[in-house]
Structures are given as structure tokens and as C-alpha cells.
Amino acid sequence: MKKTKQKIIKTFGKLHAVLILLFLYLPIFVVVAFSFNESRRNIVFTGFTFEWYGKMFENTRLIEAFGNTVIVALCSTIISTVIGTIGAIGLHKYKFKGKGIIDTLMYIPVVIPEIILGIALLVIFSAAQMPLGLLTLIIAHVTFSIPFVVFTVKARLNGFDPSVEEAAMDLGANRLRTFFEVTLPIIMPGVISGALLALTLSMDDVIISFFTTGPRSTTLPMQIYSMVRSGVSPDVNALSTLILIGTITIAILTQSGIITTIKNNILGRKQK
């Protein structure tokens, strides 16, 4: 009797998981499907066509926006990941007077309404006479990405054994070498998920980007936002489909790193 009960729970669990994933992916199937739709309006599926993909590549402003987004997303992700990771290590290891303040400040970007953070940053940039452009965009994106990197890396640092660092120093590695040879590799999964989160946030932001960008540096989300405002037409769907495929490949590449290490472990155990 106990066996079947466990089986039921297991299948229920599987079924539930599949339903949730379906729920998550339903609209994405629709978006991808309508990217091949013939009619201009995303209402009814009339015919199959690749027209929108072609049309999309001609749209130079779209490509330029995509270029800007890639630069901003990558630079802001790298900067916020670097500052966030070493910051998390610092916050994990050391106590200092203003620690309470920094910890509370860490939550502000998560909660502050985007429109007001955007305006406040714009006021600061103009007060500092900084010309609005890719640089100010990157600075703004780093500002709201850092907390997420710090949270994920700190979560990873939770189970970190400090004597491993001491062992490395004991064996002749200076502090910097220890960081790169020992600390960083161990907390890498935390750093990667922090970076992925920062990348996601940067590629989805519209309101803060609107206020902190200059005339020549519109980003893709802003472009999509304006296209959507005039009624979603299939070329937006086509664009989103391409981005989706792009991000899936990046995710598989980075995460597969973990999968292969797992495989090595399994192989390793067999060898013994």
C-alpha cells in the first residue's frame, strides 16, 4: 500500500511541474507562433510567412538599438558582477561602522518605483554635467543590478570554508592569487546566477533607461515599448523570438558548464 501512495505523490508532483511550466511557456508559444503570422494585427492567425524576419533586419534603427542594448547589457553586467562579487565578499568577511546603512541601501533599488529612480539619476547626471549617452545608461543599469549580484553571491558565500583561503596563502599564493585560484572558482555558480540576473534586468528595463539615455543611444526594450504602444505587430514578435533563441543558447552554454562537471563526477566515481 505504501508503495502506490508514494507513486501517486510522485506522479502528482510531475504533473504539477509540467502544468506550471506550461503556464510559464503558453504566452511564449503564442508570441513565437504569431511571429510567422501574415496579418499585420496579432489577433488572428491568417497565414505563414517569414516576411517579418526579413523586414526586421532592414529596420536599421532596430539593429542600432539592439547593438546599444548588447553593449549596455554586457558592460553593466560585467561591472555590476565585479563590484557586486567583491562587495559581497567584503560584506561577508568584514564588519565596519556603516554596515547597517549599506545593507539597507542594498534594498532600495529593488523597491524604489522606477520612474522616480530614473528622474533622480537624471538630475544627478545633469548636475554633474555628464552628457547622457551609453555611459550614463551603463551607470544607471549597474546601479539597479548590483543588489541582485550581491544577494546571490552572499547566498553562495554562506557555506564557504575560510580555511581554504588560508591554505592557499600558506602555500605561497598572495591575496590576489588566492582570490583568483581559490575563492572565485568556488563561488562561481553564485557569480554566474548573479550575472544572469543582472543581464535579465538590463535587457528588460524601459523606464529608467528612458530618463538616463541620450539622443543616440536608444535601447531595444525602449524600442519594443514604443512599437508595442502602436499596437503589437509581428515584427516585434519576430524580434522577441530571436532574442529568446539567443538567450537560450547563452543559458545552455553557461549552465552546461555545470552539467559537464556533474558528468565528470559520475565518470570519476565509476573509475575508482
Partner 1 sequence: MKRMLCICLSLLMIAGTLTGCSGSKSSKDDKKTLNFFNWTEYMPDSVLKAFEKETGIKVNYTTFSSNEEMLNKIKSGEKGMYDLTIASDYMVDTMRTSGLLEKLDQAKIPNIGNIDSKYTNMYFDEGNNYSVPYMISNAILCYDKSKIPEGINSINDIFDKKYKNSIVMLDDIRMVMGLAAISLGYSVNETDPAKVEKIKQKLISLKPNIKLFDSDSPKTSMISGETSIGFMWCAEVALAMQENPNIVPVYPKEGISLMIDNFVIPKDAKHKANAEKFIEFLLRPEISKMVSAEFPYVNPNKAAFELLPDSYKNNAASNPPASALDKAQLVKNLGDNAQLYDDVWTEFKNS
Partner 2 sequence: MKAKKRFKGLPKIVTLAPVSIWLLLLIAIPLIYILVISFLGRNSNGSIRYSFALENYQKLINAQYLKIYAQSLLIAFFTTIISILLSYPFAYHMAGGSKTKKVIMMLLVIVPFWTNSLIRLYGWKTILGSEGILNGLLMKTHLIQQPLQLLFTMPAVILGMVYTLIPFMILPLYASVEKLDHSLLEAASDLGAKRYHAFLQITLPLTLPGIFAGSIMVFIPALGYFFVSDLLGGGNNMLIGNLIKNQFNISQNWPLGAALSIVLIAVTILLVKLYTKVGGNIDDLGVA
Partner 3 sequence: MKPMVEIKNVNKKYGENHVVKDMNFTIYDGEFLTMLGPSGCGKTTTLRMIAGFEEPTGGSILVEGESIEEKEPYDRNVNTVFQSYALFPHKTIYDNIAFGLKMKKVKKPEIKERVTEMLSMVQLEGFEKRMPSQLSGGQKQRVAIARALINRPKVLLLDEPLGALDLKLRKQMQIELKRLQKKLGITFVYVTHDQEEALTMSDRIAIMNGGVLEQLGTPDDIYEHPKSKFVADFIGESNVLEAIVASIEDEKLILNTETGKVIGKNADFQKDEVVCISVRPEKIRFSETEVKGFSLAGVVKEHIYVGSFVKSIVVLPNGHEIKINRLAGDSLPPVASVTHLYWDINQITVMHSKEHQNYMLIQNIDLGGYQ
Within 10 angstroms of residue 206's Cβ, the number of other Cβ atoms is: 17
For partner 3, the binding residues in 146-185 under the rule CB under 8 A are 161, 163-164, 166-174, 177, 181-182, 185
60 scored as a contact of partner 3 (CB under 8 A): no
Q: Which does 215 bind (CB under 5 to 8 A by kind): partner 3, partner 2, partner 1, none?
A: partner 1
List, as one string, the DSSP characters of 161-215.
-THHHHHHHHTT--HHHHIIIIIHHHHHHHHHHHHHHHHHHHHH--HHHHHH--T
Closer Cβ to partner 1, 97 or 229, answer by number: 229
Q: Scanning residues 3 to 22, which ones bind partner 2 (CB under 8 A)?
A: 5, 9, 12-14, 16-17, 20-21
Does residue 217 bind partner 1 (CB under 8 A)? yes
Which residues, numbered 41-100, are part of the site for partner 1 (CB under 8 A)? 41, 43, 61, 63-68, 70-71, 73-74
CB of 9 to partner 3, least distance (A): 31
Buried b (16+ CB within 10 A) or exposed e, 53-88: beebeeeeebeebbebbeebbebbbebbbeebbebb
Binding partner selected for residue 41 from partner 3, partner 2, partner 1, none, CB under the kind-specific 5 to 8 Å limit: partner 1
Question: Quick one: which of 89, 81, 106, 109 has its CA closest to 195?
Answer: 81
Place of cell 581559490: 182
Grid cell at residue 205: 528595463
Looking only at residues 16 through 55 of this chain, which bind partner 2 when binding is defined by CB under 8 A?
16-17, 20-21, 23-28, 30-31, 34, 42-44
- Which residue in 100, 73, 85 sits closest to 186, CA to CA? 85
Site string for partner 2, 116-145 (x = CB under 8 A): xx-xxx-xx--------------x--xx--
> Smallest distance, Å, CB 207 to partner 1?
10
Contacted by 170, from partner 1, partner 3, partner 2, none: CB < 5 to 8 Å by type = partner 3
Q: How far apart are CA 129 and CA 216, in angstroms?
A: 17
Does the protein bind partner 3 through residue 268 (CB under 8 A)? yes
C-alpha cell read off for 61: 534603427
Q: Considering the rule CB under 8 A, would residue 145 count as an interface residue with partner 1?
A: no
Is residue 265 a contact point for partner 3 (CB under 8 A)?
A: yes
User: Which residue(s) pair with 37 in the sheet?
Assistant: 48
As a whole number of angstroms, the distance between CA 138 and CA 213 comes to 9
Rule CB under 8 A: say whether 238 interacts with partner 2: no
Among 34, 52, 125, 144, binds partner 1 (CB under 8 A): 125
By CB under 8 A, tell whether 267 contacts partner 1: no
User: What distances in angstroms separate CA 148 from CA 83, 108, 125, 214, one per listed residue?
Assistant: 11, 11, 23, 26
Residues at the site binding partner 3, with contacts judged by CB under 8 A: 161, 163-164, 166-174, 177, 181-182, 185-186, 265, 268-269, 271-272
